[in-house]
Amino acid sequence: MENTQQTESKIIELKPFADEMVVNMGPQHPSTHGVLRLELKLDGEVVREAIPHIGYLHRCFEKHSENLSYPQIIPFTDRMDYVAAMNQNWGFCLAVEKLLEADESRDFEVPERAEYLRVLICELNRIASHLLSFGTYGMDIGAFTPFLYAFRDRERLLLLFEKVCGARLTYNYIRIGGVSEIIPLEPGSITEQNFLDEIEAFLDYFEPLIDVYNELLTKNSIFAERTTGVAVMSAEMALNYGATGPNLRGSGVDWDLRRDEPYSIYDRFDFDVPVAVDVPELGSVVGDCWSRYKIRMDEMKESVRIVRQILAEGLPSGPVMADLKAVRPPKGEIYFRSEAPRGELGFYIVSDGTPKPVRLKGRSPCFSALSALQELSQGLMVADIIAIIGSIDIVMGEVDR
Amino acid sequence: MDKYIRNIYRGVYTVLVGMRVTIKQFFEPNVTHQYPYEHDYEKKRNVREIPKGYRGQLYNRMEDCIGCKKCEMICPVDCITITGTKLPKGEQLWDSMNIVHLKDGREAIGIIEGDDKKAKSEDSVTLTNITSRQGPQEVIDRLEPSGDAGRIQTFSSDEISRIVTRNPVVFYLDQFDIDMSLCMYCGLCTEVCPTECLTMKDTLAGVEYSKFDRSDLIFRFDKQEMYNKSGTEDIEAAD
Amino acid sequence: MSDFRAMLASPYFNVSEGFFPNINLQDGLNWAEEFIQNVVIPRLPEAVAAHFPVELGTVLVMFGCAGIFVGVFPLLPLFLVLAERKVAARFQNRTGPMRVGPWGTLQTLADGVKLIFKEDFIPPQGDKFLFLLAPYIIFACSFAVFAAIPFGQNILVSDFNIGIFYIMAISSVIVMGVIMAGWSSNSKWSLLGSLRSAAQIVSYEIPLGLSILTIVMLVESLSMQEIVATQSNGIFSWLIFRSPFTFIAFFIFFISAIAEVNRTPFDLPEAESEIVAGFHTEYSGMRFALFFIAEYANMFAVSAIAVTLFLGGWEGVLPGYDILGGLPGFVIKTLALVFLMMWLRWTLPRLRVDQLMNLCWKYFIPIAFFNILGTGIWGLIFPEDTLISTSISCAIIYIGLIAAYKVAGRSLAQRPAPQPS
């Protein structure tokens, strides 16, 4: 008798007819791309609210940098967006180089060969990053095979990076004033020729595969059903949230820093900037998950084009490192942004003339994109949340820094 | 109705196209590396080769280390600990060795005959007492020069890309510890090393050195033995 | 010798003019009886021989067969799991498990041993009784299905007169186990998974049942053996080619069956990337293994049912080529369908819940009803399965496929791909 009374009172406490179920998706969850925690308020399968909680991968990058000299910071930028570490290195080095240029007393220019190597390696890195994005997106949607195809091809790229800088993931290759010389790539030598031949072989192998992957996943009607029309981010909303890169172009805004604010030697290459359009056959509208995903697939083709142009020209000879005795930027501050695979990567550096920055701030494209998740996910289903996270392509290492 | 039938069409069609893609891959050769097993170098197939210059475990050729502490300073994570005593001015233990980097990627360690600082501008460079880069046995060999004629080699200046000059060893090193559990493999320390004695192993041993105890990952490079062998009375006097 | 002649005259043997002798179980039973009567009894003491049951041989052979059944079926999933992993590996240019045993063939066994020794965790806040009961319900139901599947001429446990109805009924009970597992785990992911599963299985039972109904209408029997018996005249007598409507029904049946066994593209109840592992999130050790075994046994079972209903069961491609009672042919056909399931699984992404329901209620069920209507009309026009009806049916199927290919090619392939502006 007592027992029944207890259960009854318990039921009243639990409010069995509560209409919302709170579920913690993550930080340990198969498809939150790292350690993102989403607090989902569910009504059945329908998401009433999705609140992202970040910070599980916070490593105090910005504060830590204040105690490190500029060359020492580069390995830490590797750890930000670890699937596109070359681009992160480059973004930081570009900012510091810009700061150094302000010093009148120092005649300093990044050598031509280094610029070519930077573009070459970073575009390959962009392919690697987009491949990973494509693969994991397929896996999020439930197709496991594209994931392994993507990793199979990415492996070949990683072997190339390994040959040029000695590491597979955290490259520390692009340095202030040039590129690393850990593994010398003598101009005109057989090593260089082999390296370029291997890149060419990879491109010949990979370029037709993009269309195969489009057949396998992009145009698949189930995949299209899952991703088209889901989580439409209008151009206005994308701009308001500061979404950049493929996410912004997926919303139909024609903006690419490589073309519109060309840094390094991007103005010498001929490439298109893919922008999302409505695809009525598949039911896709500008700004939905499918558009964002498709931009990445198209960008891989453009990166292949850029790399092919470099291979056709050949690498110029000369040094790969500018003659910089010590990196000691003049007093001042700089904000420089570059187009990383996930969007605009910005670095804000305040220098007081010492070898260490006074303040360093990284502008992470993933963080801005992730902030739109809460608004995008209103009223969608649990499965759509996965589709959104995959389509905005976040890397938690960069979000949390 | 048109849309209804078209949806069925598209569903069936795209599924069949996808199936065609996967069945093509079904008959492709596999790309798997049977990782630990096929590292057996006698079995050549599918061997995952570690490329030259791979950033593996740090190794220090202690006899060439001059104790300049540049690596300790540049290390972003402070994984290198060096303590030592500097000799009085004008005294030195010995000179570090020359390293000749060739354009094809090879390198030779030895002592250049004559003035090594001007060797780059000369037509040919003769390197005596060539040793390989790693291993304790070679360390001892180098300290007791045998004068073997087979270990002398001459390189023409066309082959040479870079020469590392000799530096006097003026530090009595008590401790040179590298905590590989902290190391982030950025390779900055190997770049600043003036004698290029601190290197990263690009061999299998440099990639796989997992230990059961974290403290075993602190590699202690010891120089005591060498001091005894080369007669270190002077040093004790200096202390 | 005279028995052998009688055997030759038996209905099982007279069709076999092919390359292989036709050995079937009935022969085995006859032989056992003969053996007891002619060899064993004369050598026994007379007192015993007079009362010695002649049927003992038959009984022993039947026990032997039953032993094979009991022994083989739990081993089937072991084989299928390995096959799945190897097939998946091939589709992805991998090698799959390679370490345990030669080419990793003992990997499943090793996994089984691991699962047995794992901690059997029971959620303390959950409903313990239901939590313990659920895996057994699912396991028992998925194996009970095998009782009515004819693996060969005489290789089946029981030829019910309501065989296919029994299979439908018993496989519907699985959903009870799934809901019990999801509810009792006291985990939100499990609950979501089990409710998804309930909705999915209940919905897909309908097109499944309707497409079975088209077969039952033509065969006019629910008995599995009778369904097989109508398909005994080679490949064109198989029910899939009996009428254009059964051809469509086969695909509806097969796709719904994939949904019934929760495999990609319909693996929502255990969608790994969405709800971790669905209804068996909280299970570990041997209880998880029971779910796993049941899943693969189910996969084999639905393929076997599809083969029985549409692809001639144990009957051969040509009439009479049913070696060893048709068992090898049956297994090959079933494994081919299992391979098709694996192929689909490693190609396709996953549907969303509402799209899954759309597919069922807007596409499969109307088409299945249309099928039933068509089958009724077809049955009126061609009451008997004759050469003419089969040729007409095959011609319609052929023309339909070609037309569909052409139309699809025009409407899809030639449409210009969207160009980014």
pLDDT in tens, B7-42: 787 788 888 888 888 888 888 887 777 766 655 444
Chain position carrying tokens 């290029």: B196
- Rounded CA-CA distance C192/C195 in Å is 5
Q: How far is C270 from chain A (nearest CA, A)?
A: 11
Domain annotation covers residue B19 = no
> Could B12 and C343 be called an inter-chain contact, meaning their C-beta atoms sit closer than 8 Å?
no
Final residue before a domain boundary, out of B163, B183, B198: B163
Q: How far is A138 from chain B (nearest CA, A)?
A: 13
Cβ pair B163, B100 in contact under 8 A: yes
Domain containing B213: what range?
55-94+167-239
Question: Are B212 and B178 contained in the same domain?
Answer: yes
Chain position carrying tokens 């390679």: C98
Q: How confident is the model at residue C15 (pLDDT cuts 50, 70, 90)?
A: very low
Between B230 and A196, the more confident residue is A196
Q: What SS3 class is residue B98?
A: strand
> Could C411 and B19 be called an inter-chain contact, meaning their C-beta atoms sit closer than 8 Å?
no
Question: Are C62 and C140 contained in the same domain?
Answer: no
Final residue before a domain boundary, out of C57, C82, C107: C107
Region of poorest pLDDT, from A239-253, B18-32, C57-71, C142-156? C57-71
Question: Are B131 and B224 contained in the same domain?
Answer: no
Question: Are C296 and C159 contained in the same domain?
Answer: yes
Q: How confident is the model at residue B170 (pLDDT cuts 50, 70, 90)?
A: confident
- Rounded CA-CA distance B91/C406 in Å is 92
Question: Are B82 and B177 contained in the same domain?
Answer: yes
The two structure tokens encoding residue C292: 């796993």
Q: What SS3 class is residue B22?
A: helix
Chosen for mutation from C262, C274, C275 (greatest number of chain A CBs closer than 10 Å) is C274
Domain annotation covers residue B171 = yes
| Residue C112 predicted with pLDDT over 60 | yes
Q: Which residues in A lie closer than 8 A to residue C343 (C-beta atoms)?
A: none
For B18, which residue in chain C has the nearest alpha carbon? C347
Cβ pair A199, A311 in contact under 8 A: yes
Rounded to a whole number of angstroms, the CA Rg of chain B reads 26
Q: How far is A167 from chain C (nearest CA, A)?
A: 24
Q: Which residues in C lie closer than 8 A to residue B26 (C-beta atoms)?
A: 90-91
> Could A221 and B10 be called an inter-chain contact, meaning their C-beta atoms sit closer than 8 Å?
yes
Final residue before a domain boundary, out of C85, C107, C129: C107
- For the segment A308-331, what is each residue's pLDDT rounded down to a tens digit? 998 888 888 888 888 777 778 888
Question: Are B173 and B229 contained in the same domain?
Answer: yes
Question: Are B101 and B135 contained in the same domain?
Answer: yes
Amino acid A343 reads G
Cβ pair C240, C311 in contact under 8 A: yes
Question: Are B232 and B173 contained in the same domain?
Answer: yes
- Rounded CA-CA distance B130/B112 in Å is 10
- Rounded CA-CA distance B220/B80 in Å is 10
**φ and ψ at A382, to 5 degrees?**
-60, -40
CB-based contacts of B191, cutoff 8 Å, min separation 6: A180, A181, A182, B74
**φ and ψ at A348, to 5 degrees?**
-110, 120
Question: Are B183 and B89 contained in the same domain?
Answer: yes
CB-based contacts of A22, cutoff 8 Å, min separation 6: A39, A40, A41, A42
Question: Are C84 and C124 contained in the same domain?
Answer: no
Q: Sign of torsion, CA C23 C26 C32 C34?
A: negative
Q: How far is B2 from chain A (nearest CA, A)?
A: 13
| Residues A177-192, mean pLDDT to the nearest whole number | 77
Question: Are C132 and C86 contained in the same domain?
Answer: no
CATH code of the domain containing B171: 3.30.70.3270
Final residue before a domain boundary, out of B144, B163, B182: B163
Question: Are B133 and B233 contained in the same domain?
Answer: no
Contact partners for chain C, using 3 or more CB pairs closer than 8 A, are: A, B
- Rounded CA-CA distance C197/B169 in Å is 74
Q: Which residues in B lie closer than 8 A to residue A180 (C-beta atoms)?
A: 187, 191
Exposure of A46 in the CB half-sphere (CA atoms within 13 A): 7
Chain position carrying tokens 């010492």: A354
For C255, which residue in chain B has the nearest alpha carbon? B12
Q: Which of B25, B54, B186 sits opposite A162 (nearest CB)?
A: B54
| Residue A218 predicted with pLDDT over 80 | yes
Burial C28-41 (b: 16+ CB within 10 A, else e): bbbebbeebeeeee
Question: Are C68 and C190 contained in the same domain?
Answer: no
Q: How far is A133 from chain C (nearest CA, A)?
A: 15
Q: How far is C420 from chain A (nearest CA, A)?
A: 6
> Could A182 and B21 be called an inter-chain contact, meaning their C-beta atoms sit closer than 8 Å?
no
Question: Which domains are assigned to chain A?
Answer: 21-400 (1.10.645.10)
Q: Is B8 on the interface with A (CB under 8 A)?
A: no
DSSP H or E segment with residue B80: strand B80-86
For B17, which residue in chain C has the nearest alpha carbon? C347
- Rounded CA-CA distance A300/A192 in Å is 24
| Residues C159-166, mean pLDDT to the nearest whole number | 81
Q: Which residues in A lie closer than 8 A to residue B8 (C-beta atoms)?
A: none
B54 forms bridges with which residues in the sheet? Answer: none
Question: Are C230 and C360 contained in the same domain?
Answer: yes
Domain containing C103: what range?
26-107
> Could C348 and B6 be called an inter-chain contact, meaning their C-beta atoms sit closer than 8 Å?
no
Q: Tell the burial category of C130 from Cβ atoms under 10 Å away from its Cβ (0-12, 13-18, 19+).
A: middle
- Rounded CA-CA distance B165/C26 in Å is 93
Look over chain A and give the mean of its residue pLDDT values, rounded to a whole number: 84
> Could B9 and C408 be called an inter-chain contact, meaning their C-beta atoms sit closer than 8 Å?
yes
Domain annotation covers residue C89 = yes
Question: Are C194 and C54 contained in the same domain?
Answer: no
Final residue before a domain boundary, out of B129, B148, B163: B163
Q: Is A189 on the interface with B (CB under 8 A)?
A: yes
Cα–Cα nearest to A252, from C421, C144, C51: C421
| Residues B73-96, mean pLDDT to the nearest whole number | 80
**According to the model, what pLDDT value does residue C35 have?**
75
B198 forms bridges with which residues in the sheet? Answer: B60
| Residue A10 predicted with pLDDT over 60 | no
Q: Which residues in C lie closer than 8 A to residue B19 (C-beta atoms)?
A: 343-344, 347
- For the segment C287-317, what is each residue's pLDDT rounded down to a tens digit? 888 888 888 888 888 898 999 888 887 777 7
- For the segment C124-141, what is each residue's pLDDT rounded down to a tens digit? 888 888 888 888 888 888
CA dihedral B220, B223, B225, B229 (to 10 degrees): 160
Q: Which of B14, B53, B74 sits opposite A183 (nearest CB)?
A: B53
DSSP state letters, C151-177: -SSS-SS---TTHHHHHHHHHHTHHHH
Cβ pair C3, C34 in contact under 8 A: yes
DSSP-derived secondary structure letter, C72: H
Between B35 and B233, the more confident residue is B35
| Residues C387-414, mean pLDDT to the nearest whole number | 76
Cα–Cα nearest to A118, from A192, A167, A180, A183: A180
Q: Is B36 on the interface with A (CB under 8 A)?
A: no
The two structure tokens encoding residue C23: 């050995």
The two structure tokens encoding residue C377: 């009309």
Final residue before a domain boundary, out of C107, C128, C160: C107
- Rounded CA-CA distance C261/A105 in Å is 74
A346 forms bridges with which residues in the sheet? Answer: A337, A363
| Residues C29-52, mean pLDDT to the nearest whole number | 74
- Rounded CA-CA distance A264/A48 in Å is 46
Q: Which residues in A lie closer than 8 A to residue B74 (C-beta atoms)?
A: 69, 71-72
> Could C95 and B25 be called an inter-chain contact, meaning their C-beta atoms sit closer than 8 Å?
no
The two structure tokens encoding residue C91: 């589709």
Question: Are C133 and C93 contained in the same domain?
Answer: no
Cβ pair A183, B100 in contact under 8 A: no
Question: Are B121 and B176 contained in the same domain?
Answer: no
DSSP state letters, A322-374: ---S---PPSEEEEEEEEETTEEEEEEEEE-SSSSEEEEEEE-HHHHHHHTHH
Complex-level ipTM:
0.82
CB-based contacts of B37, cutoff 8 Å, min separation 6: none
- Rounded CA-CA distance C256/C212 in Å is 11
| Residue A32 predicted with pLDDT over 80 | no
The two structure tokens encoding residue C357: 């329901």
**According to the model, what pLDDT value does residue C411 have?**
59
| Residue A150 predicted with pLDDT over 70 | yes
Cα–Cα nearest to A384, from A253, A295, A290: A290
Total residue count of chain C as it appears in this document: 421
Q: Is A235 on the interface with C (CB under 8 A)?
A: no
- Rounded CA-CA distance A55/C42 in Å is 88
Exposure of A393 in the CB half-sphere (CA atoms within 13 A): 36
The domain total for chain C is 2
CB-based contacts of A186, cutoff 8 Å, min separation 6: A192, B103, B161
The domain total for chain B is 2
Cβ pair B112, B119 in contact under 8 A: yes
Total residue count of chain B as it appears in this document: 239
CB-based contacts of C289, cutoff 8 Å, min separation 6: C112, C115, C116
Q: Tell the burial category of C122 from Cβ atoms under 10 Å away from its Cβ (0-12, 13-18, 19+).
A: middle
Domain annotation covers residue C85 = yes
A250: left (phi over 0), alpha (psi -120 to 50) or beta: alpha
DSSP H or E segment with residue A129: helix A112-141
Chosen for mutation from A140, A147, A215, A382 (greatest number of chain C CBs closer than 10 Å) is A382
Question: Are B85 and B181 contained in the same domain?
Answer: yes
The H-assigned helical ranges of C145-271 are 163-172, 174-184, 188-219, 224-229, 244-260
- Rounded CA-CA distance C94/C89 in Å is 4
Q: Which of B15, B188, B200 sits opposite A71 (nearest CB)?
A: B188
pTM: 0.82
Q: Is C95 on the interface with A (CB under 8 A)?
A: no
| Residue A8 predicted with pLDDT over 70 | no
Q: Is A396 on the interface with C (CB under 8 A)?
A: no
Contact partners for chain A, using 3 or more CB pairs closer than 8 A, are: B, C
> Could B188 and A167 be called an inter-chain contact, meaning their C-beta atoms sit closer than 8 Å?
no
